[in-house]
Structure 1
Amino acid sequence: MPTRISGFSSGLDIDSLVTSLMRTERAQRNKLEQRKYTIQYQREDYLKVNTQLTALQKKASSLKLTANINKMKTEVNGDTSGVSVSSSSSSTAASYTVKVNQVATRSSVTSDPFITNSASFDPTKSLASQSSNLSGITGDGTSAVDYSFKINGVEISVDADSESLNNVINKINNSQAGVTAVLDSKTGKINLQSKTAGLVNGQSKTEDKITLEDTKKTGNLGFLTDVLKLDASAVSAAQGAEIEVNGITMQNNTNDFTVNGVKITAKTKDASVTIESKRDVDAMVSNIKDFIQSFNDTLSLINTEYGEKHNRNYNPLTQEERSDMTENDAKLWDEQAKKGMLYRDSVLSKVRNDLKTATITEFTSTKSGVYKTLGSIGISTTSYKDNGVLTVDEAKLREALENDPDAVVRMFTTNSTDSKQKGLAFRIYDTVTAGIQSIKDKAGYSSTDEDTSSLGKEIKNINLKMADWDTLLNKKEDAYYKKFGAMESAIQKYQSQLSSLGLGG
């Protein structure tokens, strides 16, 4: 790099002159810089649209599930402490009278006599170390023989040298045996009880009693029988539940019954209730309105981005231009420069048109001669000026849900390869998913990164060209300084000659 000299001899402001000359030289480079910022602004807007599309995608994905739109509710009168009731999306509108004839009980067994009567027994220490406190443990206080046993057909092994009684209890509780083991430290007794009521025991999980079997013994001593003092013949039998629904007797292994999608749990014998299951129109209206609002938010944003013109008087600022402005002025300029980046954008145009088409195309899957369009259930546009934004006539929507709720549900949740058969939630989901991908292909995931998207590749190309321009401009700037340096040297030499001839001023 040449030495940057002052204009001492010529009296010229050389830095200002070079800066002025370079401003013209930088014109092409500045256009590239402005184009780069324009692309970054476009990507920011694309990403903003994609964020909104993703929110709508999640709403549509949720509403594809019948359970999230076909809301049911139950009204229960009677002994609600003795019978609990809940509905699901598969519930049907109906009335029931329920009486509990018998509740399911659990099978259990308690050790008898005490497993130990020693005050020094410690259930946290190894079984071998407790051999003097536990009958059935064969050992010398430091080592003991191992055992194994089965509860409800599930085998559990015992390493007496390393495992404590608490370890064995935890093994039982965490196994697939389906029982809970509890040690009463005060009485020294242990209890096994089925985790759930009803006929859920044995290897088949359908028997009334917990099954116990010692599979590895020391002589005639088994862990269940001789250490835990559990007698298989003393196991109490569980029983299943029985209820009457509208006079029809129903039996089940457990206390839970399902009748036309309504879950009924028997809790107290002889308890009775009346149940009315019906659609929760308030919840259904709320869910539909929430989805339509998300649709409107998305379409409104796309309409704004698509229709906002760019003011050509406000091009993006170069770094050089920005340095000559106050921070506030630059901010105000940026606000104007960023407007209209997606005006009449083809990607947005397709997404917008597809969203509109999804709402105006007839739904042939409703199986209704009346409710075949969104307008028929109170969802429509009021004017072409709305650009596809929807309004909800809540009274008309409620009327449709009261008259033919199944048709309304199908209008949203039917899945099909036929676009006319497909429900609105599926149509919107497919449309926004395709739109999200189109925007990713166009703009990528970031406003600044070089990536494989169309705009990402363009930024990469611009960065390369700008780097080439920076190299060229540095050389030109150096050349100007060299020329002015040569001029300064010539003037200085000339002045020196004049001085030697006595002609200097």
Structure 2
Amino acid sequence: MSFSSIGGTYGLSGSGMDIDSIVTKLMMGQQAKSDALLQKKTVLEWQKTSYNTVYDDINNFRTTTFNYKLQGTLSPNKVSSSNTSVVTATANAEAADVNHSLVVAQLASGVNLTSASNVTTGASKDTIVNQFYDGVAPTGLYKFTIANGAASASITIDPNGSINDLVSQINSAGINVKASYDSTLDRFFMSTTNTGSSAGLSIVKTEGDASWGGDFFVDKLKLPSDVATTTGITGLNAEFKLDGVHLSQASNTFSISGVTYSLTGVSPGATGATIAEKLDSGQATTISVTNDTDKAVASIQSLVDSYNKILADINGKLSETRYKDFPPLTDAQKSVMKESDITAWEAKAKSGMLRNDQTLASLVNTMRNAFSNPVASITGPYNSGASIGITTGTYTEGGKLYLNTDKLRTALQDDPDVLSQLFGASGKNPDGTIDPSSQGIAGRLYDGIKTKMDQVAQIAGTTAGAQYDTKSSFAKRITAYNKQITNAADRFDKVQTAYYKQFNAMEVALQQLSSQNSWLASQFGNSNG
């Protein structure tokens, strides 16, 4: 007599019954219940993933709409220069659409120093001792203070270090001074990284006896002697006349009244001994600031395209067919199917997860209304999307937008601020609350999408993984199914174990009966003999 452990292949001892097959059939009802729970959980997970994908998509679109609350997007300007060898310029939305006159007498500069000739006097460049003192080390230390304007640092030269070590000490001093040494040219270079009259270079020795050969930077590195004074050498401010007014700037790039100027050269004809003479004699460059209609139109077209893309995605999910006759496949079902058949089945099983979803349908309506409803705070003719050429297609197109660029250009010509008013209106009430009817299109989209995103987050969270989302409705339902599946698995094991125990008992009883029959037969046989 041989019996396997419960759940294994049965060694039939006398009944002639396939116990494993019988138990499997008996457990089919329990297995069906477990499979149904797992399938329901899987559908929820698919729906949650679909929601999370929508959340990411609408969040990205919402980020895009924020730019349409900004003046730089709604009222772009373009700038031209009559002489780009003197100045180039850009302008933000705050710049007035006017022509500016500019004469440049002097560019801003920092301090740039270069060795007057080759610096090496020794046979080797590996150390300062060998490079400048022919192997005979000077006595004592050489310390100096290097200053750039108000910033300064104290540095000690190591005679046994190299000139590149000195370069590193200067560069890491944190005073906007950069040094370098070109071994091929055998020259030392030093400059300030800032410009203007506040920039400067002063290198003053604070310690070092005569054995160092005088001032190391002047006598050994052959820099101008002025650098070894406390006043040092200073940079220059940019000197220019803008719209007839003499101004100075520490940098060649600066912003005035919304226009950013980048000076590139001195004005032609700017000659004379003084800055004033140069400004009076220089030829003026004209900087023209105008509305960039092309950029504004392209910007609105980009918004319409982005809107249509997200709208098509959402409408696609709302109308996607739901195949209820194609539930998620169980592992047992997959095991007897071809891979291609599994793929085709699951494509239908996952279809329509958000079909006719009311939250998404409400989002679509919110987005449509942002463009179609007039902005109550605007009293002029351009108070809605349609008034500047943004219209909705036919009903069958699900709210797709179209932009009539000619109509938009006409609106911009009539009122250059039309986009700023229509898209950027804040809609704020005196008490700080927002009135959606007076709010601009961009604000309506931005706030309206946020409201729907919050609703989606409550329904399905913001991430597909239930392990990272425990508060959304879907996460709670999935957790509940996990518990039911665990309980069903426990019940399955208990019922299956009970069946095997019953069949074990039956086998034992049959074996005992068989043994008794054999004994009785042997007894009758003995008595007949």
- Aligned position for 2:474: 455
Taking the aligned partners of 2:88 and 2:58, their CA distance within structure 1 comes to 41
- Aligned position for 2:387: 376
- Aligned position for 1:412: 423
Taking the aligned partners of 2:495 and 2:114, their CA distance within structure 1 comes to 98
Q: Deviations over 1:335-392 (max 9, x none)?
A: 2222232234344344334333433343356x56122211212223234554443222
Matches within 5 A, 1:171-320: 171-173=169-171, 175=173, 177-181=175-179, 183=181, 190=188, 192-195=190-193, 198-201=196-199, 210=200, 212=202, 214=204, 216-218=206-208, 230-232=224-226, 239-245=236-242, 250-256=247-253, 258=255, 260-264=257-261, 265-270=263-268, 273-308=285-320, 310-320=322-332
The reply on whether 1:45 has 2:53 as its aligned counterpart is no
- Give the paired residue count: 486
The reply on whether 1:391 has 2:402 as its aligned counterpart is yes
CA shift for structure 1 position 260: 4.3
- Aligned position for 1:476: 495
Q: 1:150 aligns with which of 141, 147, 158?
A: 147
Q: Deviations over 1:140-195 (max 9, x none)?
A: 3xx52433343323222122237544344444445554455455667866555454
Taking the aligned partners of 1:494 and 1:273, their CA distance within structure 2 comes to 119
- Aligned position for 2:60: 55
Cα pair distance change 1:363/1:133, threshold 3 Å: farther
Q: Which moved more, 1:98-107 or 1:278-287?
A: 98-107
**Alignment identity in percent?**
26
| Cα contact 2:143–2:205 (8 A) shared by 1 | no
Cα pair distance change 1:440/1:116, threshold 3 Å: same
Q: Secondary structure at the match of 2:27?
A: helix
Letter in structure 2 aligned against 1:146:
K
| Cα contact 1:212–1:224 (8 A) shared by 2 | no
Q: Secondary structure at the match of 1:158?
A: strand
Q: Secondary structure at the match of 2:260?
A: strand
Structure 2 portions without partners, runs of 5+: 269-282, 525-529
CA shift for structure 1 position 294: 2.1
Taking the aligned partners of 1:96 and 1:376, their CA distance within structure 2 comes to 34
- Aligned position for 1:118: 121
Taking the aligned partners of 1:325 and 1:108, their CA distance within structure 2 comes to 78
CA shift for structure 1 position 32: 1.4
Q: 1:70 aligns with which of 61, 68, 75?
A: 75
User: RMSD over aligned Cα, in angstroms?
Assistant: 3.9
Q: 1:28 aligns with which of 7, 24, 33?
A: 33
TM-score between the two structures when normalised by the length of structure 1: 0.80
Cα pair distance change 1:25/1:64, threshold 3 Å: same
The reply on whether 1:84 has 2:100 as its aligned counterpart is no
| Cα contact 2:122–2:131 (8 A) shared by 1 | no
| Cα contact 1:91–1:261 (8 A) shared by 2 | yes
Matches within 5 A, 1:3-22: 4-5=9-10, 9-22=14-27
Structure 1 portions without partners, runs of 5+: 202-209
| Cα contact 2:148–2:192 (8 A) shared by 1 | no
Letter in structure 2 aligned against 1:153:
A
Q: 1:360 aligns with which of 350, 372, 378?
A: 372
| Cα contact 2:201–2:234 (8 A) shared by 1 | no
TM-score between the two structures when normalised by the length of structure 2: 0.77
Cα pair distance change 1:394/1:211, threshold 3 Å: same
Q: Secondary structure at the match of 1:74?
A: strand
| Cα contact 1:450–1:460 (8 A) shared by 2 | no
Cα pair distance change 1:198/1:488, threshold 3 Å: closer
Cα pair distance change 1:336/1:150, threshold 3 Å: closer
- Aligned position for 1:322: 334
Q: Deviations over 1:466-501 (max 9, x none)?
A: 122112111211222333344445455556666664
| Cα contact 2:393–2:402 (8 A) shared by 1 | yes
